Chains A and B, each alone.
Chain A
Amino acid sequence: AQTVTQSQPEMSVQEAETVTLSCTYDTSENNYYLFWYKQPPSRQMILVIRQEAYKQQNATENRFSVNFQKAAKSFSLKISDSQLGDTAMYFCAPGGTSYGKLTFGQGTILTVHP
């Protein structure tokens, strides 16, 4: 079983600044993946970034990067050069290899201000 904690219910940032969303999790699996998903106000959930737990190198995807600390079971998302279109709810989701199931955190609402 997996549990996920996103301790920041809401965050705000000014346009062009950097923000970090935190996520901690617990899992009994040895081989797993971690995801950040974004749900804009229009509600379509989309993948932001993915990390494979066996890889030590942190994943990056353009302005999005993660800080993956496997021993601490921490998986934070850093958004650089924030844009208005980054305003959304962000979900952290670890997943095991069993049928691709994911466990989602409670979500963090991020608001980017002009």
Chain B
Amino acid sequence: DVKVTQSSRYLVKRTGEKVFLECVQDMDHENMFWYRQDPGLGLRLIYFSYDVKMKEKGDIPEGYSVSREKKERFSLILESASTNQTSMYLCASSLSPGTVAKNIQYFGAGTRLSVL
């Protein structure tokens, strides 16, 4: 079974702090994704990565950055946390399109971040 692990289930931070959210997958997937989930808005893509050191902006990248130094690990960074970044953050991974698995994304359990 594919396993996507997010380092924290709950996190409380202060405004202005630098926040790191970590995600690790164990299935050698090429693609990794960071979403935020807010009531009534569904999941919105923040950033994704299709290879080590490669990243692309999603729909709402402002205020976030990412790092992918190793294939299995994808980090989301809030450079200076703000209260409007209080949300649920979900990490996902998938194989490249064109493979048998064809775009199926596997998700971590999520990190509930509160910025006070």
Contact = CB atoms under 8 A, between A and B. Distances in A.
Interface in B44-73: 44-45, 48, 50, 56, 58
B105 A102 contact: yes
A42 B88 CA distance: 13
Interface residues of B, number: 30
Interface string A45-83: 111001010000000000000000000000000000000
B96 A107 contact: no
Interface of A is mostly: loop
Given A44-B109, A45-B107, A106-B41, A99 B102 contact: no
Of the candidates B43, B50, B107, the one having the most CB atoms from chain A within 10 angstroms of its own CB is: B43
A99 B48 contact: yes
B42 A104 contact: yes
Q: Give me the 10 closest cross-chain CB pairs, A-B, nearest first.
A: A45-B107, A104-B43, A100-B103, A104-B42, A106-B42, A100-B94, A97-B97, A99-B50, A95-B103, A43-B110
Interface of A: 4, 6, 9, 33, 35, 37, 42-47, 50, 52, 91, 95, 97-107
